[in-house]
């Protein structure tokens, strides 16, 4: 039994929980960020000078993404219904043996989602047309901040959601398990873009690709492999 079982279905919770978690976690980080100067990766002046879109535009873009997220998530859950039932699935409390299976599904889903994200994101950077017309939308935030974590072009929203669908269906997890998966993905995305490196952050212990790692990726340069070994940093080419 879970806390929401008597109030909403697992499908509804899987749709709204990641959005609620996003605004709570991103909102707290956004509010505290100006006060945490020694933990910021960039100054407030850099944030204002380097970013090419105002925060109000970013917030509107995130809200649009979340509207698409609601529609696609509900479509995905409804498509998972069997012909034998028209009701949302309910997952009962389970013993330890079944919990192990759920954890296996959870980690498999993480692997599938991360693999999809990696290759789609990599291709977005290698294909000049897709970068200039789609992915560069996200890179308008040269200095990322928490509420801008999901600021993307609508096309990229769809590709991200398809990765989530692949993780959900490929792992065979239930809607209830997916609530925890998509909330974790949401928190990780905000943390990667929060512009803060706070001590004691558990995500930085579990994942080495933290906010500082991702912040380098958002700067206006890229790394090229040298023919003699190692890497060098060069300025990004302008989109035409």
pLDDT in tens, 120-149: 999 998 898 998 899 988 989 888 899 999
- For 188, other C-beta atoms within 10 Å of its C-beta total 18
Within a domain: residue 113? yes
Considering the domain boundaries, does residue 216 fall inside one?
Answer: yes
Q: Residues 220-232: what's their mean pLDDT?
A: 56
What is the SS3 assignment for 221?
strand
Q: Hey, what are 168's tokens?
A: 């959900």
Contacts of 230 (CB under 8 A, 6+ apart): none
Residue 91 has pLDDT above 50, yes or no: yes
| Reported pTM | 0.83
User: Which residues constitute the domain of residue 99?
Assistant: 10-235
Give the Cα separation of 211 and 203 in Å (integer).
10
- For residue 15, what pLDDT is reported? 92
- Mean of pLDDT over the chain: 83
Residue at 141 is within a domain: yes
- 5 within domain boundaries: no
Could you report the per-residue pLDDT of 7-45, keeping only the tens digit for each?
888 888 999 999 999 999 999 999 998 888 888 888 888
Task: Please count the structural domains in the chain.
Answer: 1
Any domain includes 173:
yes
Is 160 part of a structural domain of the chain? Answer: yes
CA distance to 123, 203, 227, 236, per residue, from 240 (Å)? 18, 38, 28, 12
**Would you say residue 1 lies in a domain?**
no
- Establish if 129 belongs to a structural domain: yes
Confidence of residue 202 (pLDDT cuts 50, 70, 90): confident
Checking if the pLDDT of 57 tops 50, the result is yes
Task: Evaluate if residue 157 carries a pLDDT over 80.
Answer: yes
């Amino acid at each position: 039994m879970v806390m929401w079982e008597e109030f909403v279905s697992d499908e509804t919770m899987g749709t709204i929980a990641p959005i609620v978690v996003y605004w709570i976690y991103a909102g707290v980080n956004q509010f505290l960020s100006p006060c945490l100067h020694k933990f910021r990766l960039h100054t407030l002046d850099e944030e204002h000078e380097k970013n090419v879109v105002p925060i109000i535009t970013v917030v509107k873009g995130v809200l649009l993404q979340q509207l698409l997220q609601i529609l696609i998530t509900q479509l995905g859950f409804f498509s998972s219904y069997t012909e034998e039932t028209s009701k949302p699935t309910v997952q009962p409390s389970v013993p330890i043996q079944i919990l192990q299976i759920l954890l296996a599904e959870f980690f498999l889903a993480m692997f599938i989602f991360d693999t999809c994200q990696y290759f789609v994101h990599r291709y977005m950077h290698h294909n000049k047309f897709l970068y200039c017309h789609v992915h560069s939308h996200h890179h308008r935030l040269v200095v990322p901040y928490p509420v801008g974590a999901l600021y993307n072009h609508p096309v990229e929203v769809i590709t991200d959601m398809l990765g989530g669908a692949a993780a959900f269906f490929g792992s065979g997890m239930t809607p209830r398990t997916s609530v925890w998966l998509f909330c974790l993905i949401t928190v990780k995305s905000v943390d990667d873009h929060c512009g803060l490196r706070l001590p004691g952050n558990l995500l930085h212990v579990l994942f080495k690709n933290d906010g500082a790692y991702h912040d380098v990726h958002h700067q206006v340069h890229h790394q090229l492999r040298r023919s003699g070994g190692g890497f060098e940093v060069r300025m990004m080419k302008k989109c035409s």
